[in-house]
Amino acid sequence: MANELNSSNRPYFNEGTHVKIQKSYHPDAGAGKLYLVGTPIGNLEDMTFRAIRTLKEVQLIAAEDTRQTRKLLTHFEISTRLISYHEHNKQASGPELIRLLHTGESIALVSDAGLPAICDPGADLVKQAVEEGIDVIPIPGANAALSALIISGLSTERFTFLGFLPRERKTLLQELQLLQSAKETLIYYESPHRIMKTLEAMLEVWNPERQMCLIRELTKKYEEAARGTIQECYDLLLAQPPQGEYCIVVEGMTATENAASVAWWEAFSLEEHVEHYATQGLDRKEAIKRAAADRQMPKRELYNYLHK
């Protein structure tokens, strides 16, 4: 670990190119390193030996919620200095953390649960560190999205993680319509307060017979996976009100949906296809984007055709 914490941040360049190559464990002394440390998503036994060691040996731990992280540190008898780094203070604390890294201090970044920099402000700090030539080291750990995917029973060959869907209904429907033709498995996060509205929107846009898995309370005592169609899962939540944070895993476009999607616009010209969406209230840019997605063609190509 000594080599891990004290090795150089000096960027390496591939000869003849401007590609920067990070040598994560180069033995030369230099600036500190930014460690992205995975923490448990519910079960404390998912904390790795390497994560504990890293949190003990760095000079500083930057946490999204210091109160939550302090409980974790107390449990594992970690006394490293803890500071706050979150969405509301990142503009001020980010540059200060980069300054400390340049002075030789190594910092561990943690989120409330799981891997940092996924759906949290840690991604901004990582970007700044990379731009400054600071080595960024992953310390793998629990991840809710992938844990949900592998127990869902749906295809794991190709998948897309989309985080949280938009809150506003119109934007939510537009997002789901854009994803309607996606053939890969789709993964989302959702709160218990919004999941009914999300499933209602899915029922409105997608085939209700698509297979889905709703996973809640991952790794905790009341972990539960509900598998069925979108309609069946929605009906389940009507009967049993949602509790806990959810991961939603949904299969991609079905053969039935694919056949139906081709049928409705097949007779349209390109202009008529775009106009169809424009009459639904979308601006022309969004209408072109939607029509291009239906036809699986680059939107720039469609735009150029319509404006030649």
Is the torsion defined by CA of 100, 101, 104, 106 positive or negative?
positive
Burial class (CB in 10 A: 0-12, 13-18, 19+), 298: exposed
Query: CA separation (Å) from 63 to 59, 93, 106?
Result: 13, 11, 14
Reported as a single tens digit per residue, the pLDDT across 6-52 is: 444 455 555 566 788 898 887 766 789 999 999 999 999 999 999 99
Reported as a single tens digit per residue, the pLDDT across 137-152 is: 999 999 999 999 999 9
62 touches 125 (CB < 8 A): yes
* Distance separating alpha carbons of residues 56 and 52, to the nearest angstrom: 6
Q: Which residue has the tokens 């390109």?
A: 270
Query: CA separation (Å) from 170 to 175, 272, 282?
Result: 9, 23, 10
* Distance separating alpha carbons of residues 53 and 3, to the nearest angstrom: 13
DSSP helix, strand, coil percent of the chain (3-state; round to 5): 40, 20, 40
* Distance separating alpha carbons of residues 4 and 23, to the nearest angstrom: 10
In this model, does residue 219 exceed pLDDT 90?
yes
**pLDDT band at 306; cut points 50, 70, 90:** confident
- The predicted model gives 204-226 an average pLDDT of 95
Q: What does the mean pLDDT of the chain come to?
A: 90
* Distance separating alpha carbons of residues 96 and 91, to the nearest angstrom: 9
Q: What whole-number percentage of the chain has pLDDT above 70?
A: 92
pTM, 2 dp: 0.79
In this model, does residue 206 exceed pLDDT 60?
yes
In this model, does residue 4 exceed pLDDT 60?
no
Is the torsion defined by CA of 116, 117, 121, 123 positive or negative?
positive
**pLDDT band at 299; cut points 50, 70, 90:** confident
Res 31: pLDDT: 85
Res 300: pLDDT: 87
Reported as a single tens digit per residue, the pLDDT across 244-287 is: 999 999 999 987 777 766 666 778 888 888 888 888 778 888 88
Structural domains present in the chain? 2-142 (3.40.1010.10), 145-253 (3.30.950.10), 267-306 (no CATH)
What is the token pair recorded at 302?
Answer: 């469609």
Reported as a single tens digit per residue, the pLDDT across 92-128 is: 999 999 999 999 999 999 999 999 999 889 999 999 9
* Distance separating alpha carbons of residues 252 and 146, to the nearest angstrom: 16
252 touches 184 (CB < 8 A): yes
Res 29: pLDDT: 63
Res 1: pLDDT: 54
What is the token pair recorded at 43?
Answer: 């079960």
Q: Between 295 and 34, name the one with better pLDDT.
A: 34
Q: Which residue has the tokens 């190559």?
A: 21
